[in-house]
Homo-oligomer: A and B are copies of this chain.
């Protein structure tokens, strides 16, 4: 890598060109990402051979794509746009400013322009927005031999030849087969006899998360996507689904941390946008926590009488929050992976109850002993121990239950994670604690 950068600086272009031929597309893209000078980026791009330029281009981030496009002639843009897969072309166009889009589309064939516009018209996170239109479809009347010839003709443009789709004259999907089926068949077998007529598909408007669940269930490499008139219009490939799986996990983690989710990488998001995405929940949670504070004022007499009581508040609130967030995290993830379904409600509640009994016993005993030794007062130890039992049981019940309840109400279970659970548990913890203290210590 350092070698290549050195040659770029020394302008050994001929050697550089040779070396680039031996690199994988993704490695060339990494090389680009390591360059800072726009001039170097442009030179390196122009050194790429024609057959990899578009592939490399699709791997680059949008800032770099813009730099390159602005340095290319119309003719060169035309080549790139002809070679890009349509889903990559649409992603690229979407990220560019208006003036670049105008120039790019001017240098795109009418046919591809229509496809790009169509792809961009699908709702965000829909199957239509992540599919590609370059797939291989054949007719069921063909023999295996004829099919291979057809595939050979179409393969250059297709994103994958691994899965082959069978359509009728109205472009409706009739069946599906893998290249392995085709290789194993006899050359005069009819496609209709070896294809699987039982096709699993999605529509252009299906949410990408649903699509990813189909990949998970069936272990597909590619899934056909049909439009509202049942015509095959695209395919989603497994590499796109890998990105979806990651995006969805990130989104869940962000929601679980009370952040409005975003698709943009951390460093590319401005501080102002970051603040905007965090402030809503913070404000909401701050105000909720004030309610806990207001409730505490009812117990002022108690903590003025025994100020030591106040010093246990962080521990009780912290433990309640942690227990609740443990349960919530496990249940939210279980729901996301379909390991837990709505009808498991009682199983989850019962399991969390058993766990909370075990966990709270250990915590109570340890804290009882510590408090007794430190304050020399077994009654105070008892207050803390009992409060811990109540707080842990309630926390795990709420933590395990609220995500399922959210799902039942068609909300995203991830909302019911640490921040909301903690705020709720805090309030219950404080009330239980002071009630127990008042009863046992006779305040």
Contacts and interface: CB of A to CB of B under 8 A. Distances in A.
Interface of A: 22-26, 30, 148, 151-152, 155-156, 158, 160-162, 179-180, 183-184, 196-198, 200, 215-219, 221, 238-239, 241-242, 245-246, 249-250, 252-254, 256-259, 265-267, 271-272, 274-275, 278-279, 281-283, 285-287, 289-290, 292-294, 296-297, 300, 303-304, 307-308, 310-315, 317-319, 321-323, 325-326, 328-334, 337, 339-340, 344, 347-348, 351, 354-355, 358-359, 362-363, 366-367, 370, 418-419, 422-423, 426-427, 430
B245 A198 contact: no
Given A221-B221, A337-B250, A355 B271 contact: yes
A326 B358 contact: no
Contacts of A152: 183-184
Given A184-B152, A242-B242, A293-B314, A283 B366 contact: yes
A355 B278 contact: yes
A221 B245 contact: no
B422 A326 contact: no
Interface residues of chain A: helix, strand, loop or mixed (majority): helix
Contacts of A285: 318-319, 322
Kindly report how many copies of this chain are found in the complex they form together.
2
Contacts of A238: 221, 238-239, 242
A188 B109 CA distance: 35
A199 to B, nearest CB: 9
Given A219-B239, A257-B329, A310 B311 contact: no
Contacts of A430: 314
Given A221-B162, A285-B322, A329-B259, A355 B314 contact: no
B318 A426 contact: yes
A184 B216 CA distance: 31
Given A221-B221, A279-B363, A325-B419, 4 more contacts: A22-B197, A257-B329, A259-B330, A266-B348
A164 to B, nearest CB: 11
A6 to B, nearest CB: 20
Q: Which 3 A-B pairs have CB atoms at the shortest separation, nearest pair first?
A: A271-B354, A257-B329, A275-B358
Contacts of A265: 334, 337, 339
Nearest to A367: B286
B266 A326 contact: no
A262 B84 CA distance: 42
A424 to B, nearest CB: 11
Nearest to A351: B271
Contacts of A370: 290
A57 B122 CA distance: 39
A240 to B, nearest CB: 9
15 contacts: A152-B183, A221-B238, A254-B333, A257-B328, A265-B337, A267-B339, A271-B355, A275-B362, A278-B323, A282-B319, A282-B322, A290-B370, A296-B311, A300-B310, A318-B423
Nearest to A184: B155
Contacts of A179: 161-162, 179
Contacts of A245: 242, 245-246, 249
Nearest to A245: B245
